[in-house]
Amino acid sequence: MEIENLLNELYLYMLFFSSFKYTLIIWIVNLLLIFPQNNNEISNCDSIKNIILNEVTIASSRFNIDSKVNYYLLRYRVLKVYPFLDSIQKILNDADMVIESLDKKKFTRRYTRKVQKKIINQFSTSISNLTRKEGVILSKLVYREFDTTVYDLIYQYRGGLQAFLWYKISKIYDGDLKIIFSPSDNV
């Protein structure tokens, strides 16, 4: 009972001195566990075993302002770009249903040109206002959503020449249509 009271008091001290390193307190707790205050530990041929642990230094976590700023910037950019992803997903789902119903390749090409013009008319002003990082985030979100790169989507719907041209245009502006999303490299 005394040990529990001491541990409770130590816990209260730890709350009050949050910037204090707790090495000394952990050392005292280890001493209390090694040398018990009462001799009633052995009862009915059962004993409580004490384990000596290595010294642990607990330091207060410092406020890292750079990582918080980077997190909030990334969050802002994702929230700015995410509506584009929703719109693209709806347009591509509708396009897939129509393309499946078309018989000839000639009609699918015409339809994909119409869809491309629709996308350009709908998004040209707002996408041109995106920064480079927001464009990279949009490419990564497209990869995450469709499990294919933007380059492959353009190749699938418009062909290799169009995909190559858009890829080279993106390279001029330090973009990459073949970028993939990996959780370890989230920026």
Contacts 24+ apart (CB under 8 A), 107-114: 112/157, 112/158
Are 1 and 71 found together in one domain? no
Q: Which pLDDT belongs to residue 1?
A: 57
- Do 101 and 134 have their domain in common? yes
Mean pLDDT of 55-81: 81
Q: State which of 62, 80, 98 marks the end of a domain.
A: 62
70 and 154 in a single domain? The answer is yes
- With 0.75 as the threshold, say if the pTM is over it: no
Residues 16 and 101 in one domain: no
Give the chain's mean pLDDT: 77
Query: Which residue range is the domain that position 124 belongs to?
Result: 65-172
Judged against a pLDDT cut of 50, whether residue 150 lies above it is answered with: yes
Q: Is residue 177 domain-resident?
A: no
The Cα-based distances of 145 to 153, 156, 182 in angstroms read: 12, 16, 12
Neighbours of 142 (CB within 10 A): 24
Residue finishing a domain among 62, 88, 103: 62
Residues 145 and 168 in one domain: yes
pLDDT digits (tens, 9 = 90+) for 75-91: 999 999 999 888 889 98
Same domain, yes or no: 111 and 32: no
Query: Is 178 part of any domain?
Result: no
Average pLDDT over residues 154-170: 89
Q: Please write the tens of the pLDDT for every residue from 11-59.
A: 655 555 554 455 555 556 555 555 555 544 555 555 666 667 788 777 7
pLDDT the model gives residue 73: 92
Q: Are residues 93 and 125 in the same domain?
A: yes
Query: Is 179 a domain residue?
Result: no
Q: Is residue 127 included in any domain, yes or no?
A: yes
The percent of residues in the chain predicted with pLDDT above 90, rounded, is 8
**pLDDT for 77:** 93
In a domain, 181, yes or no: no
Residue 123 pLDDT greater than 90, yes or no: no
3-state secondary structure 11-53: HHHHHHCCCCCCHHHHHHHHHHHHCCCCCCCCECCECCCCCCC
Distance CA 170, CA 160 (A): 15
113 and 35 in one domain?
no
Q: Are residues 78 and 128 in the same domain?
A: yes
- Which range among 42-51, 52-61, 138-147, 170-179 shows the weakest confidence by mean pLDDT? 42-51
What is the phi/psi pair of residue 46, to 5°? -125, 135
What's the average model confidence in pLDDT over 62-79? 83
In a domain, 149, yes or no: yes
Quick one: pLDDT at residue 12? 59
Q: Are residues 125 and 150 in the same domain?
A: yes
What is the number of domains present in the chain? 2
